[in-house]
């Protein structure tokens, strides 16, 4: 069966990425690897929109989140977490595991934080050393106003740490221009790679925290990573095959142009939302992201049955809800290596599945809506 | 140019492993992935020779070393490290980074520890909670007597933690039978994969330490990993492409049979040593491992020139010395996906390079010695 994945990570792999991993492995302590690694680090700066170094780790995105906490803080430090979904909660969980004192901005799942709430917290408690947030909260499909959050955090002495794991390459993120201190990303999303690499960029202000932080770290040591980077190396054996694959995907992003990549995500997200809405379904997240659309499943439709139908009959894999949203939403990712026909495909599978499950659907209507958005916007 | 790597990680990739990574990526929260992951975890138990769970992490081997320390210990715990090379030193460095009190058995680089020394230390200090060692110390090419070490550690209340990153699949390691509490491994050595996965097996005694350990951990959390394993899952997004590749390499190991795989390594190591000796060069490590042969470079020969010659003229990549051994030794790995002709190839390149560099070498003599070992032992 032809299987097509529309999950918010892993995302589909371009042919260049797949084939690069079928090549012979090269040794990492060689000029050949260093040349590739330097190119990759340059490309990452472009995607991160930063002049600062982007550090590369062999881990999932959660590893890089932990790395930030282990490198920037000391036991008992106070931090503020925007908690509006599963990945906001993850910041809290890691922070607590490392002995930080955590205050939260609790946001209803499916909504975004108001920067003014964050500003108020920072004014009330001057000891807060960092604000943690997402760019896109993957569990709810919501995009956060990182520019707005940054402008209030930058009035304080706290640093802003943004989990852009699902957002990078799908949403505008001007790391340096907006004054975002730390950006975390992963390989299996907008970067169109298999999972296994994670990335962290740090501002000068963030590096100052590293100098004074006393939490234990070794594998995640940012200073070691930065020192190795200057020699085109990593402190420990890197995931060579994934780094070679990243060279390929970064080339694709450069060729298309980052602004065009993001615009493509914006249009596809709009097409999916228009199509879903005309099926009478409700978009769960607001404001909705360019990366993943969360859809409320109406009474009478079993979310898991719907996903199973789409997969069994059409080979289309979408995601369900996480935690308390399990069974209540489904999530369609339009992230990474996606084209117009992919979007028509997932929408068609959705409407045909709903039709066959007995939900009153007029066949072709949703596809038409998606086509209207796609043809109205020349990519 | 045809490039052939004889480095102690990464090691060459079998075709099945390479091609598996060129396949479409699958989503990890699916029965399809769980089935592969369960198979892989079963295969790992076979290679580790244990009935206990083998946990899988997305990281380099060093990440798994750190994971062991973060999960088994509390600030101020006392541990004993066998320090006979760069990777023994790594145990010390990580332990210190995590606030452990470290005593060491200092072994001359190129030599192995005497289990009786360890026994004496454990008798003198009953507070030692763990002994850290290597199976193969990659930096010196020496194999340690893990069976002997285990028998003395098992008389105490300490657990034995073995870094088998370079040794697994090359040396006999009866984890359960010998009573080894913790075994750490990596993907890019005997398991014939690209770097990016690491593995940890734990005995019941080791799990008891986990229950009482208070060092901070989240990404490395062994309990979370064990709980997910029972559902055929990992707590965080796994390196899907590498796990699918591991399914392939474990199949190759099962087909050949672990004992045959290890015997093949033993014979190839012997062939390399015999060949090197008859060139008038000295084996640096004693007792020498099956995984990598460290060779003292005689006065008059520039180690880096020799490596460059082998690489430039013959496409053969070998490793140099690390730390203070830089320039003094070269290391030839015969680890992982190696066959008889590979061994003849690396030996021929070595003798031709030495010949052309003006070192008094009779062409063909070393190759003959290697052939004698290989033909005398039917694999």
Residues 242-271 of B with CB under 8 A from A: 242
**Residues B60, A238: C-beta atoms closer than 8 Å:** yes
CA distance B277 to A293: 66
Which regions of chain B carry the CATH code 3.40.640.10?
15-256
Question: Which residue in chain A has the smallest CA separation from B194?
Answer: A241
pLDDT digits (tens, 9 = 90+) for B288-303: 999 999 999 988 899 9
Of B29, B61, B241, the CB nearest to A194: B241
Of A62, A66, A216, the CB nearest to B97: A216
- The mean of the pLDDT values for chain B is 97
> What are the C-alpha distances in Å from B71 to residues A236, B43, B64, B165, B370?
20, 24, 10, 19, 45
Min Cα distance A4 → chain B (Å) is 9
Q: Chain A within 8 Å of B117 (Cβ-Cβ)?
A: no
Residues 295-354 of B with CB under 8 A from A: 317, 319
Mean pLDDT of the region A117-146: 98
Min Cα distance B147 → chain A (Å) is 28
**Residues B58, A59: C-beta atoms closer than 8 Å:** yes
**Residues B21, A18: C-beta atoms closer than 8 Å:** yes
**Residues A241, B196: C-beta atoms closer than 8 Å:** yes
Q: What residues of chain A lie within 8 A of the CB of B25, using their CB?
A: 5, 10-13, 188, 194
**Residue B76 carries which DSSP code?**
T
pLDDT interval class at A377 (50, 70, 90): low
**Residues B59, A62: C-beta atoms closer than 8 Å:** no
pLDDT interval class at A299 (50, 70, 90): confident
**Residues B219, A24: C-beta atoms closer than 8 Å:** no
Mean pLDDT of the region A305-312: 97
Q: What residues of chain B lie within 8 A of the CB of A97, using their CB?
A: 216-218, 221
Q: Chain A within 8 Å of B7 (Cβ-Cβ)?
A: yes
Nearest CA-CA partner of B205 in B44, B102, B50, B72: B72
Q: Which CATH number applies to A15-255?
A: 3.40.640.10
CA distance A36 to A38: 6
Please tell me the least confidently modeled range out of A54-68, A100-114, B364-378. Answer: B364-378
Query: Beta partners for A333?
Result: A292
> What are the C-alpha distances in Å from A227 to residues A64, A211, A230, A231, A232?
18, 14, 6, 7, 9
CA distance B228 to B221: 11
Q: What is the pLDDT of residue A5?
A: 97
Mean pLDDT of the region A72-79: 98
Residue with tokens 């604000």: A131
**Residues A317, B196: C-beta atoms closer than 8 Å:** no
Q: What residues of chain A lie within 8 A of the CB of B195, using their CB?
A: 28, 58, 237-241
Which regions of chain B carry the CATH code 3.90.1150.10?
258-376
Where would I find the beta strands (DSSP E) of chain A? 4-5, 54-58, 78-83, 101-106, 128-134, 136-137, 142-143, 159-163, 182-186, 197-202, 282-283, 292-296, 316-317, 319-320, 329-333
Of all residues in chain A, what percent carry a pLDDT higher than 90?
A: 98
Q: What is the pLDDT of residue A348?
A: 98
Q: What is the pLDDT of residue B65?
A: 98
Question: Which residue in chain B has the smallest CA separation from A307?
Answer: B30
Best mutation target among B218, B248, B292 (most A Cβ atoms within 10 Å) is B218
Q: Which CATH number applies to B258-376?
A: 3.90.1150.10
Q: Answer whether residue A379 shows pLDDT above 70.
A: no
Q: Which CATH number applies to B15-256?
A: 3.40.640.10
> What are the C-alpha distances in Å from A343 to residues A263, A273, A334, A379, B173?
15, 11, 7, 14, 52
Mean pLDDT of the region B268-294: 97
Q: Chain A within 8 Å of B60 (Cβ-Cβ)?
A: yes
What 3-state class would DSSP assign to A194?
coil
Q: Answer whether residue B377 shows pLDDT above 80.
A: no
Of B23, B59, B195, the CB nearest to A240: B195
**Residue B323 carries which DSSP code?**
G
Where would I find the beta strands (DSSP E) of B188-283? 197-202, 282-283
Of B21, B27, B99, the CB nearest to A216: B99
* Helices and strands in chain A: count of H runs, count of E runs: 14, 15
Question: Which residue in chain B has the smallest CA separation from A20?
Answer: B22
Q: Chain A within 8 Å of B22 (Cβ-Cβ)?
A: yes
Query: Beta partners for B283?
Result: B295
pLDDT digits (tens, 9 = 90+) for A230-270: 999 999 999 999 999 999 999 999 999 999 999 999 999 99
Q: What is the pLDDT of residue B353?
A: 97
Q: Answer whether residue A378 shows pLDDT above 60.
A: no
Q: Answer whether residue B235 shows pLDDT above 90.
A: yes
Mean pLDDT of the region A16-36: 96
pTM for this prediction:
0.97
Q: Answer whether residue B153 shows pLDDT above 80.
A: yes
Farthest CA pair distance, chain B: 62
- How do beta strands B128-134 and B316-317 pair? unpaired
Residue with tokens 């769970």: B53
Question: Which residue in chain B has the smallest CA separation from A70?
Answer: B216
Of all residues in chain B, what percent carry a pLDDT higher than 90?
A: 98
CA distance B288 to B212: 38
Q: Answer whether residue B378 shows pLDDT above 70.
A: no
Of B65, B196, B237, the CB nearest to A188: B237
> What are the C-alpha distances in Å from A179 to residues A175, A204, A206, A255, B82?
6, 10, 11, 27, 47
pLDDT interval class at B25 (50, 70, 90): very high
User: Can you spell out the DSSP letters for A287-341?
Assistant: SBPSSEEEEEPPTT--HHHHHHHHHHHH-EE-EE--GGGTTTEEEEE--SS--HH
Question: Which residue in chain A has the smallest CA separation from B24?
Answer: A13
Q: Answer whether residue B70 shows pLDDT above 60.
A: yes
Where would I find the beta strands (DSSP E) of chain B? 4-5, 54-58, 78-83, 101-106, 128-134, 136-137, 142-143, 159-163, 182-186, 197-202, 282-283, 292-296, 316-317, 319-320, 329-333
- The mean of the pLDDT values for chain A is 97
Q: Chain A within 8 Å of B360 (Cβ-Cβ)?
A: no
Best mutation target among B15, B241, B311 (most A Cβ atoms within 10 Å) is B241
- Side-chain half-sphere CA neighbours of A135 within 13 A: 28
Q: What is the pLDDT of residue A92?
A: 98
Question: Which residue in chain A has the smallest CA separation from B192?
Answer: A25
pLDDT digits (tens, 9 = 90+) for A272-283: 999 999 999 999
Mean pLDDT of the region A330-348: 98
Of A61, A195, A215, the CB nearest to B240: A195
Q: What residues of chain B lie within 8 A of the CB of A11, using their CB?
A: 25
Mean pLDDT of the region B258-274: 98
Min Cα distance A132 → chain B (Å) is 17
Q: Chain B within 8 Å of A19 (Cβ-Cβ)?
A: yes
């Amino acid at each position: 069966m032809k299987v097509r994945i529309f999950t918010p990570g892993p995302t589909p792999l371009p042919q260049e990425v797949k084939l690069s991993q079928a090549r012979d492995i090269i040794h990492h302590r060689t000029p050949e690897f260093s040349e590739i690694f330097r190119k990759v680090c340059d490309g990452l700066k472009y995607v991160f929109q930063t002049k600062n170094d982007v550090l590369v780790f062999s881990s999932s995105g959660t590893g890089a989140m932990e790395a930030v906490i282990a490198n920037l803080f000391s036991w008992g430090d106070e931090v503020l977490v925007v908690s509006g979904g599963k990945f906001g909660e993850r910041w809290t969980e890691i922070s607590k595991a490392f002995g930080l004192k955590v205050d939260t901005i609790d946001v209803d799942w499916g909504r975004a934080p108001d920067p003014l709430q964050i500003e108020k917290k920072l004014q009330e408690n001057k000891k807060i050393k960092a604000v943690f947030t997402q760019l896109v909260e993957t569990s709810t499909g919501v995009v956060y106003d990182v520019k707005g959050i940054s402008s209030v955090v930058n009035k304080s002495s706290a640093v802003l740490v943004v989990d852009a794991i699902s957002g990078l390459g799908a949403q505008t993120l001007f790391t340096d221009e907006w004054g975002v201190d730390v950006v975390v990303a992963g390989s299996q999303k907008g970067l169109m790679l298999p999972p296994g690499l994670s990335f962290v960029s740090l501002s000068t202000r963030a590096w100052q925290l590293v100098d004074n932080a006393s939490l234990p770290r070794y594998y995640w040591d940012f200073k070691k990573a930065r020192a190795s980077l200057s020699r085109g190396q990593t402190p420990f054996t890197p995931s060579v095959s994934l780094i070679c694959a990243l060279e390929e995907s970064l080339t694709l992003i450069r060729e298309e142009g980052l602004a065009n990549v993001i615009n493509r995500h914006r249009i596809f997200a709009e097409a999916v939302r228009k199509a879903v809405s005309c099926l009478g379904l409700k978009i769960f997240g607001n404001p909705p992201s360019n990366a993943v659309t969360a859809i409320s499943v109406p009474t009478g439709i079993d979310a898991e049955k719907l996903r199973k139908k789409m997969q069994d009959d059409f080979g289309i894999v979408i995601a369900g809800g996480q935690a308390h949203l399990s069974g209540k939403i489904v999530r369609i990712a339009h992230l990474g290596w996606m084209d117009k026909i992919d979007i028509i495909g997932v929408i068609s599978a959705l409407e045909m599945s709903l039709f066959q499950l007995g939900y009153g659907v007029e066949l072709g209507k949703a596809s038409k809506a998606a086509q209207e958005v796609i043809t109205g916007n020349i990519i």
